[in-house]
Structure 1
């Protein structure tokens, strides 16, 4: 059995209803005592010091934790979903349920969460910290970045937007808090530190998610979409996944930095999706000291118009009234892509991350190696 680390999204699929309730009972015991014994006890036993106030004495650290919770919890929501699946054998429909977390981001009712929380959902409901539940509309989502925006029609006085912090300048060792609904237990706060920065993990689409925040603040299924907070109760990230071999928390959690969220959310609200630049370079081979091998270029794409060459070439053949497009391969052909606007490309993920920083219509300069010679080629990006 291999000992592999699994990256598990924090959304939770529920088959049955699970409820966990804790009760604490206090019972006062009274023992009848003879008056003589009481008098003797009063003389022989010292009096215990009485507290001036019945309230607990809290440390500054505890007060800071309480403040973070009381400020942020009003902005964190519980998200319940219903999905419908068809049994391929008996062709029967089965209804599945899921649970996750989210954050109120404005007074218009927009809710931030992970795309995987609402994936394939037919029904989405949002429950505010007040206990009020509202049906939610999916406004937009981006699966590659695992970010989604919902909208509820709730009175503005019930909506408390979560203050946004910044993800640049974060330090390893900095204290952070995760707030959400693990296992459906709403309003759960856990505390930890930033364990590392700029972590990369493979996302649900197979594309690498970069520059994530790693933390040991406990996260479990249901924490997906909830905020990662700094000590000022500001959101610095959105909880997205844990690394585990058991499916439960092992002290390695990841969050999407808030700066990336702040860039993507306006596009999701306006367009329902991320407007990505199109380049037409489909596949790469492994990196070498010359760059990344271009294996395939989509016909008619910006890369094809720029004159880039790939290992796989397309040829168009006409037979009568029919047109055929065939692929031919020649391992001696194909450019090596070394840099984009001077930024080195060491993998396909590097290239995609760099290109995502541009808009359709912008022109980039590609540094390529062809037949052992370095060349500069300009490419104008289209819209994906």
Structure 2
């Protein structure tokens, strides 16, 4: 501040007035609005990419060429209606961790499926082709044979359609059918042939690969009788469609 020549001199005049910058605090600069918008856009892009990747993976797995092929074949086999009654007895078995296939073997609705389908399940829901759902509990299960027998709860005395267990086992070269709920599809029918038979399992060569959800599917003769239960896909059999099935004598031993 300037002093006129006529003003008396003050001792404070000997001190220089500090600049205004001396009174300002050092502060961290805030991110600009442009930077914030850029961060938001990057995060949104990453989330969108992750979602697109997941959806793409889902469609590649569930609607690839093989899946479309087994859908086409299944529709052709089902056209004449000869499998309609089988569909009424083949069920979807759902748990909190996944799903598989099963089938009714008595009019009371006892369901045969794989042990690994219901292993450690806190809740089991069985759904029929007519849309009816039932809670179920495990009556008997064996890891060694990978079979489980379920009992439906609160059926109100309903009589359920069921599949017949064959009296004779399938042999190598025999034609068979597999009906199940692979991936997100329902009541898929595959035609196949028994390729190999051992004491513990049979190799069933069907026209498409065995997928998650096929576990517990009945292996049926041309007379539509159960001769086995699908439980796994053979190592290296992804392209050929080779599945492993619990053979008839093991099923009978488990049920008796």
TM-score norm. by structure 2 comes to 0.64
Q: Tell me how far apart the structure 2 counterparts of residues 184 and 173 of structure 1 sit (CA, whole Å).
A: 30
1:258 to 236, 248, 255: 248
Q: Tell me how far apart the structure 2 counterparts of residues 141 and 127 of structure 1 sit (CA, whole Å).
A: 20
CA contact (8 A) 1:100 1:181 kept: yes
Cα deviation, residue 125, structure 1: 0.6
Q: Tell me how far apart the structure 1 counterparts of residues 81 and 247 of structure 2 sit (CA, whole Å).
A: 22
CA contact (8 A) 2:108 2:159 kept: no
Aligned position for 1:292: none
User: Which of 1 and 2 has higher RCO (CA within 8 Å, sep 6+)?
Assistant: 2
Is residue 212 from structure 1 mapped to residue 213 from structure 2 by the alignment? no
Q: Tell me how far apart the structure 2 counterparts of residues 126 and 178 of structure 1 sit (CA, whole Å).
A: 19
CA offsets 1:192-217 (integer angstroms, 9 cap, x no match): 1111122xxxxxxxxxxx34221111
TM-score norm. by structure 1 comes to 0.44
CA contact (8 A) 1:182 1:221 kept: yes
Secondary structure (helix, strand or coil) at the match of 2:233 reads strand
CA contact (8 A) 1:68 1:231 kept: no
Cα deviation, residue 109, structure 1: 2.1
Aligned position for 1:224: 215
Cα deviation, residue 184, structure 1: 3.1
CA offsets 1:14-39 (integer angstroms, 9 cap, x no match): x99x6979xxxxxxxxxxxxxxxxxx
CA contact (8 A) 1:242 1:249 kept: no
CA contact (8 A) 1:213 1:256 kept: yes
CA contact (8 A) 1:76 1:128 kept: yes
Q: 1:234 to 1:66 in 2, by over 3 A?
A: farther
Q: 1:114 to 1:66 in 2, by over 3 A?
A: farther
Larger Rg: 2
Q: Which runs of 5+ in 2 are unaligned?
A: 1-53, 64-75
Aligned position for 1:160: 161
Aligned position for 1:3: none
Q: Tell me how far apart the structure 2 counterparts of residues 212 and 196 of structure 1 sit (CA, whole Å).
A: 9
Cα deviation, residue 63, structure 1: 7.5
Q: Tell me how far apart the structure 2 counterparts of residues 76 and 244 of structure 1 sit (CA, whole Å).
A: 26
Aligned position for 2:46: none
Is residue 113 from structure 1 mapped to residue 113 from structure 2 by the alignment? yes
Alignment of 1:46-65 (within 5 A): none
Q: Which runs of 5+ in 1 are unaligned?
A: 1-14, 22-61, 83-96, 199-209, 267-384
Q: Tell me how far apart the structure 2 counterparts of residues 165 and 126 of structure 1 sit (CA, whole Å).
A: 24
Secondary structure (helix, strand or coil) at the match of 2:83 reads helix
Cα deviation, residue 156, structure 1: 4.9
Q: Tell me how far apart the structure 1 counterparts of residues 173 and 81 of structure 2 sit (CA, whole Å).
A: 20
Secondary structure (helix, strand or coil) at the match of 2:123 reads strand
| The structure with more helix, counted as a fraction of residues | 2
CA contact (8 A) 1:167 1:237 kept: no
